[in-house]
């Protein structure tokens, strides 16, 4: 047995990151968009002398501080734990490459947290103009965190030729700005900004829906209508930003989106097409519902509807982030590192070295000395964990047992060999990394898989005819 | 109105001939009660929306579906070859299930809000008939792909009509078009699914909607007890219509989410000679009667059990159907309370037997 290992049955480790990240993105993008919403609303209130707005904004800023300062920060740290365990190699690449970027992110994050607290606790206690300035400082700092993280996230999809030319040489950080301002940087920033603005309005609808429309009709009407304008405006920009983004994505990755147009067959990577459909329909619905039930009918706008819109936004965000992650397949860092942490080329932990020396000699979760002495089954299991389990589980998400069902030992061996050979005409080459390792590794993995799919002792499935 | 001149003149041209302004004025005049149970008013509209989705997707499927010996192959092509064929099929199947679910929610909410009382008895009867037709839509549509699951589930499902005393075997024989489920059955079910049932369903639906329009939304007893001045209402147009539309949009999203993330699968082609795969059972909305018949069959073995089951079940439905005559608009106290308990018991029984059924075939 090799320790430690990171094994999440049924759900798969990818989803551990996914669940935390989707939750985090919902809140962090609210933190950025809401950061602009608050001072803009405050400025409007001061300019137009709306005292009732200021009171409502105080309520909203408490909600804002709690949601972003508690749930946003905790889930952000959670992502680090999850990616460190699931993708140690990729996490290491990101840290080494963007040391300066992370430092900036951290600095702005501190400013963001501090000003959010100051903003809430100084309502009515400091000069109104100064209070508004605190709001603007928050808005600037939170926008900066997006501007930075966007460079790092988009880098993973399309690192750009300059970075790729020095990847693996140890001089990667010297081309920091090339990696940062990679081909998808601007369209992605544009798109994420639009999402942040939309979420600012959508979250604000939660607090404004709780205003009693019969008691304070003017306040409710104006604030609900003003909040609805945020997602409305953002959804006008969004389709254009999305098209621009897809245009900048490498064409091999873009092609992944079309795999599910004509099939739902298992193992064909058709899910991503379907998930993109969810993004489109939920986004369109948010606009429709927010306009019809919010803008046109502000006094009756209730918490139930506001929560429905928020849930739709959660669905759209989740589906959007999922699609973005899937667009990167078979890589975790585009053209450089496969989604199981194996490098495309280079002298360390790459396809070449693993094929030459065997996978277990330098695998992240295995003690090199043990590899040769354990059984074929244990070696196969270790290879499965290292090479397959960042995307597959045995019985849950992308279940290998089900995907290989009906194949016998020979057939499974041929399949593993096909993944190993990674020939250009293989249908899996578009979204699966090659299986790396020696001939012995192929045999060990195939043995292990065969044991799982066709357990010894289980009756061969026969079709009885009557 | 800030409409431009051509739009205005086209509108007045049409208005003069069709009287649109009268309809709008009428709709604006109409009101819908607003209270804490208002949420349940949307379920009829949601059912209607899901029916419309099925009409549209059904017509699209009709273009490529071929009943008879090629049934499975044509569905295979729709699911695995045609662009977005899977989406249309998936939306059709999911909306069918959601449709029946929405009707059931609608029915139970009507029951518990006592909306079947005078003068809405015909609304209750026509609604029940529509539910019955909806399940027939489901039953006939389920077989059409002719995969392993639908073939064997239909075989099992036909046991329910077959167990009706005297006429049962005859009816089942007519439905099957022979001693066993075959391509003749598919052709019959297809005719039922796209011609016969719609021909009955559509006029009945029109009647049902006309009644809803004629009598308006019923007030639940708790609201009726309030003095008129305390009751709140909102205009049907645009306020209620807008909320209704919002609900339709949300339903569309639930449907799109289910259809995309859990696309309706297609099994292997049926093989009449093979043994049935494990865990074959009817669709969820037939699970309750199926399980009740099974349980009674265990208590009273043989034909007696079957007959008793059918009798009890029929009696239950008849009582359910006749509830407006028992719990009338003038009834207070015991009868109203009994009807309420009857409704709750029906819900519990339905959920319990369905759960039991799934537990048994797990």
Q: Taking CB atoms and an 8 Å cutoff, what residues of chain B touch A275?
A: 260-261
For the four alpha carbons of A431, A437, A442 and A448, in that order, the dihedral sign comes to negative
Greatest alpha-carbon span in chain B: 78
- Is the minimum CB–CB distance between B81 and chain A shorter than 8 Å? yes
What radius of gyration, in Å, describes the C-alpha atoms of chain B?
23
C-alpha A156, offset from chain centre: 11
Q: Over the Cα atoms of chain A, what is R_g?
A: 25
Q: Which residue of B has its CA nearest to A279?
A: B257
Q: Is A99 helix (H, G, I), strand (E, B) or coil?
A: helix
Mean pLDDT of B144-165: 86
Buried (b) or exposed (e) across A101-117, using 16+ Cβ within 10 A? beeebeebbebbbebbe
Kindly report the nearest CA distance between residue B201 and chain A, in angstroms. Answer: 30
E-state strands within chain B: 31-34, 232-235
Please answer yes or no on whether A289 and B239 come within 8 Å at the CB atom: no
Residues of chain B positioned with their CB less than 8 A from the CB of A274: 87, 260-261, 263
Give the nearest partner residue to B245 out of A275, A292, A466, using CB atoms: A292
Please state the rounded mean pLDDT for residues B227-251: 86
Helix axes B148-157, B121-143, angle to 10 degrees: 130
Task: Mutation target for B interface from A281, A316, A317: give the one with most B CBs within 10 A.
Answer: A281
C-alpha angle A235-A240-A245 in degrees, rounded to nearest 5: 115
* B38 min Cα distance to partner chain A (Å): 13
Question: What interhelical angle do A99-121 and A88-97 show, nearest 10?
Answer: 80
Q: Which residues of B touch A308 (CB under 8 A)?
A: 250
- Chain B residues whose beta carbon lies within 8 Å of the beta carbon of residue A266: none
**Residue B82 touches partner A, C-beta closer than 8 Å:** yes
What pLDDT score does A371 carry? 58
Containing A337, the helix (H) or strand (E) segment is: strand A337-338
Query: What tokens were used for A166?
Result: 């020095």
Q: What is the pLDDT of residues B38-81, one digit of tens each?
A: 889 999 999 999 999 999 999 999 999 999 899 999 999 999 99
Two structure tokens written together for B345: 């018991």
Q: How far is the alpha carbon of A257 from chain B, nearest alpha carbon, in Å?
A: 13
Q: Which residue has the tokens 């609304």?
A: B123
The DSSP output letter for B230 is G
By the CB < 8 Å criterion, does A465 face chain B?
Answer: yes
Count other C-beta atoms under 10 Å from residue B2's C-beta: 3
Nearest to B253, CA basis, from A331, A382, A277: A277
> What's the CA gap between A198 and A349, in Å, rounded?
42
The set of residues, in sequence order, having a beta carbon less than 8 Å from that of B189 and lying 6+ positions away, is B140, B141, B143, B144, B154, B175
Query: CB–CB of B253 and A463 under 8 A?
Result: no
Interchain pair B252, A263: CB under 8 A: no
Q: CATH number of A351-453: 1.10.8, 1.20.1510, 1.10.760, 1.10.101?
A: 1.10.760
Among candidate residues A353, A374, A377, the one with its CA nearest the CA of residue A363: A353
DSSP A338: E
Distance CA A132, CA A134 (A): 5
HSE (CB half, 13 Å, CA atoms) of A111? Answer: 20
Across the range B183-197, mean pLDDT stands at 95
- Chain A residues lying within 8 Å of B243, measured CB to CB: 293, 297, 300
In chain A, where the domains are located: 13-335, 351-453
Half-sphere exposure of A449 (CA within 13 A, CB side): 33
Tell me the sheet residues that pair with B34: B232
Q: How far apart are CA A401 and CA A452, in angstroms?
A: 7
pLDDT at A447: 95
Which residues share a beta bridge with A350? A343
Q: Return the closest-CA partner of residue A326 out of A181, A195, A432.
A: A432
What's the pLDDT at A59?
Answer: 95
CA distances from A75 to A22, A26, A343, A445 (A): 9, 11, 29, 36
Q: Distance between CA A61 and CA A68 in Å, rounded?
A: 10
Q: Which one of 3.50.50.60, 2.60.40.3080, 3.40.50.720, 1.20.810.10 gives the CATH number of domain B40-107+117-273?
A: 1.20.810.10
Suggest the residue from A269, A289, A306 to mutate for an interface test with chain B (most B CBs closer than 10 A). Answer: A289
A342's tokens: 């194996």
Q: What is the pLDDT of residue A417?
A: 96
Q: Which of A308, A312, A464 sits opposite B275 (nearest CB)?
A: A464
Q: What is the mean pLDDT of residues B139-164?
A: 88
> What angle do the packed helices B303-321 and B121-143 form, to 10 degrees?
140
Give the integer Cα–Cα distance in Å for A248 and B77. Answer: 34
Place of tokens 């002298």: A347
Could you tell me the CA-to-CA distances from B17 to B9, B20, B24, B284 in Å, in that order? 13, 8, 15, 49
Question: CA B71, CA B190: separation in Å to the nearest integer?
Answer: 10
Concatenating the DSSP letter of every residue in B55-95 gives: HHHHHHHHHH---STTHHHHHHHHHHTSTTHHHHHHHHHHH
Which DSSP letter does residue A268 get? Answer: S
Residues A386 and A365: their CA atoms lie apart, in Å, by 7
pLDDT confidence of residue A461: 46
Which residue in the set A274, A288, A312 is minimally distant from B260, CB to CB? A274
**Within an 8 Å CB–CB cutoff, is residue A438 touching chain B?**
no
Interchain pair B249, A277: CB under 8 A: no
Quick one: DSSP state of residue B220?
P
Tell me what ipTM this predicted complex has.
0.79
The reply to whether residue B274 touches residue A465, judged by beta carbons under 8 angstroms, is: yes
Q: Among A291, A300, A138, A72, which Cα is nearest to A208's?
A: A300
DSSP tag of B226: S
Angle subtended at Cα A318 by Cα A312 and Cα A319, rounded to the nearest 5 degrees = 90
> How high is the mean pLDDT of chain B?
90
pLDDT value at residue A458: 64
Cβ of B253 and A315 within 8 Å? yes
Beta bridge partners of residue A399, listed in sequence order: A393
CATH 1.20.810.10 domain range(s) in chain B: 40-107+117-273
CB-CB: which of A262, A274, A288 is closest to B263? A274
Q: What is the DSSP string of B333-344?
A: THHHHHHHHHHH
User: Residue B234 in 3-state DSSP?
Assistant: strand
What's the average pLDDT block by block, 10 residues per block, for chain A (466 residues)?
68 90 93 96 96 95 94 94 88 91 95 96 96 97 96 93 91 91 95 95 96 93 96 91 92 88 83 90 90 90 92 91 90 93 92 93 71 79 90 92 92 96 91 95 96 79 38
DSSP B17-43: HH-HHHHHHHHHH-EEEESTTGGGGHH
pTM of the model: 0.85
Q: Mind listing the pLDDT tens digit for each residue in A235-268?
A: 889 999 999 999 999 888 888 888 888 888 877 7
Put simply, the answer to whether A264 touches B263 (Cβ < 8 Å) is yes
Q: Check if B268 contacts A (Cβ < 8 Å).
A: no
Residue B90: list chain A partners with CB under 8 A: 264
Q: What are the backbone dihedrals phi and psi of residue B7, each rounded to the nearest 5 degrees, phi first? A: -60, -40
d(CA B213, CA B233): 16
Is A293 in CB contact (< 8 Å) with chain B? Answer: yes
Q: Which residues contact B219 (CB under 8 A, 6 or more apart)?
A: B33, B35, B231
Closest CA to A206 of A75, A94, A67: A67
> Would you say A422 and A46 are in contact if contact means Cβ atoms under 8 Å apart?
no
Angle in degrees, 0-180, between the axes of helices B121-143 and B85-112, rounded to the nearest 10: 150
Q: How far apart are CA A270 and CA B285, in angstroms?
A: 30
What value does the mean pLDDT take over residues B109-119? 92
How high is the pLDDT of residue A463? Answer: 37
B117: alpha, beta or left? (left if phi > 0; alpha if psi -120 to 50): beta
B269-304 confidence digits (pLDDT tens)? 988 888 888 778 888 998 888 888 888 888 887 777
B23 token code pair: 């309809």
- Which residues 6+ apart lie within 8 Å of B235 measured at CB? B28, B29, B30, B31, B32
Token readout for B57 is 């997707």
């Amino acid at each position: 047995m090799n320790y430690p290992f990171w094994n999440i049955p049924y759900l798969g480790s990818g989803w551990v990151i996914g669940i935390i990240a989707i939750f985090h993105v919902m809140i962090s993008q609210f933190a950025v968009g809401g950061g602009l919403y608050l001072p803009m609303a405050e400025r409007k209130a001061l300019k137009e002398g709306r005292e009732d707005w200021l009171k409502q904004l105080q309520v909203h800023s408490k909600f804002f501080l709690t949601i972003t300062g508690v749930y946003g920060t905790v889930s952000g740290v959670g992502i680090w734990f999850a990616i460190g365990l699931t993708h140690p190699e990729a996490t290491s690449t990101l840290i080494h490459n963007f040391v300066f970027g992370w430092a900036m992110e951290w600095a702005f994050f501190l400013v963001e947290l501090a000003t959010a607290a100051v903003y809430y606790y100084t309502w009515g206690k400091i000069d109104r103009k100064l209070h508004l300035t605190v709001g603007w400082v928050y808005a600037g700092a939170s926008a900066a965190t997006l501007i930075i993280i966007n460079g790092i996230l988009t880098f993973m999809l399309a690192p750009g030729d300059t970075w790729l030319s020095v990847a693996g040489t140890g001089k990667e950080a010297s081309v920091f700005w090339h990696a940062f301002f990679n081909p998808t940087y601007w369209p992605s920033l544009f798109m994420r900004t639009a999402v942040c603005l939309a979420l600012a309005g959508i979250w604000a609808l939660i607090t404004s829906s709780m205003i009693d429309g019969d008691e304070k009709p003017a306040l409710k009407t104006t604030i609900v209508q003003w909040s609805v304008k945020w997602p409305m405006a953002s959804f006008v920009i969004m389709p254009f930003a999305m098209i621009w983004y897809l245009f900048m994505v490498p064409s091999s990755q873009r092609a992944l989106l079309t795999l599910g147009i004509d099939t739902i067959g298992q193992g064909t990577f058709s899910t991503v097409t379907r998930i993109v459909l969810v993004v489109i329909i939920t986004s369109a619905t948010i606009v429709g519902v927010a306009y019809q039930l919010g803008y046109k009918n502000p006094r009756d706008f209730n918490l139930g509807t506001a929560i429905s819109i928020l849930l739709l936004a959660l669905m759209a965000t989740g589906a959007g982030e999922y699609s973005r992650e899937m667009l990167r397949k078979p890589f975790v860092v585009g053209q450089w590192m496969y989604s199981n942490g194996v490098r495309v080329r280079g002298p360390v932990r790459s396809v070449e070295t693993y094929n030459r020396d065997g996978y277990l000699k330098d695998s992240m979760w295995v003690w090199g000395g043990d590899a040769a002495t354990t059984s074929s089954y244990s070696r196969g299991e270790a290879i499965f964990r290292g090479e397959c389990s960042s995307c597959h589980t045995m019985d849950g998400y992308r279940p290998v047992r089900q995907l290989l069902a009906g194949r016998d030992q020979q057939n499974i061996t041929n399949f593993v060999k096909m993944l190993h050979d990674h020939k250009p005409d293989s249908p899996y080459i578009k979204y699966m990394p090659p299986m790396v390792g020696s001939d012995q590794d192929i045999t060990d993995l195939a043995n292990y898989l065969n044991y799982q799919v066709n357990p010894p002792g289980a009756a061969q499935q026969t079709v009885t005819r009557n | 109105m800030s409409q431009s001149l051509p739009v205005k003149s086209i509108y007045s041209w049409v208005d003069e001939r069709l009287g649109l302004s009268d309809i709008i004025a009428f709709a604006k005049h109409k009101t819908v009660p607003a209270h804490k149970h208002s949420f349940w008013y949307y379920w009829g509209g949601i059912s209607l929306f899901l029916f419309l989705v099925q009409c549209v997707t059904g017509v699209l499927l009709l273009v490529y579906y071929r009943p008879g010996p090629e049934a499975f192959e044509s569905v295979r092509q729709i699911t695995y070859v045609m662009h977005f064929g899977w989406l249309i099929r998936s939306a059709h199947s999911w909306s069918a299930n959601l449709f029946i679910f929405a009707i059931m929610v609608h029915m139970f909410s009507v029951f518990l809000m006592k909306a079947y009382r005078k003068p809405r008895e015909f609304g209750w009867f026509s609604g029940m008939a529509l539910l019955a037709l909806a399940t027939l839509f489901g039953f006939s549509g389920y077989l059409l792909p002719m995969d392993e699951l639908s073939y064997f589930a239909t075989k099992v499902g036909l046991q329910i009509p077959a167990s009706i005393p005297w006429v049962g075997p005859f009816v089942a024989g007519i439905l099957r078009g022979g001693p066993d489920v075959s391509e003749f059955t598919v052709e019959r079910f297809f005719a039922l699914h796209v011609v016969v049932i719609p021909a009955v369903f559509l006029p009945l639906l029109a009647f049902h909607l006309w009644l809803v329009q004629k009598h308006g939304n019923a007030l639940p007893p708790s609201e009726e007890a309030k003095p008129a001045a305390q009751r709140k209402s909102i205009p049907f147009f645009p306020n209620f219509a807008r909320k209704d539309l919002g609900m339709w949009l949300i339903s569309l999203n639930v449907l799109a989410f289910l259809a995309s993330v859990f696309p309706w699968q297609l099994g292997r082609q049926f093989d009449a000679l093979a043994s049935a795969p494990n865990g074959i059972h009817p669709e969820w909305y037939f699970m309750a009667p199926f399980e009740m018949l099974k349980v009674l069959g265990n208590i009273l073995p043989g034909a007696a059990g079957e007959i008793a089951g059918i009798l009890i079940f029929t009696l239950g439905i008849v009582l359910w159907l006749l509830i407006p005559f028992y719990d009338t608009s003038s009834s207070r106290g015991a009868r109203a309370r009994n009807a309420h308990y009857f409704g709750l018991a029906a819900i519990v029984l339905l959920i319990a037997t369905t759960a039991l059924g799934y537990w048994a075939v797990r």
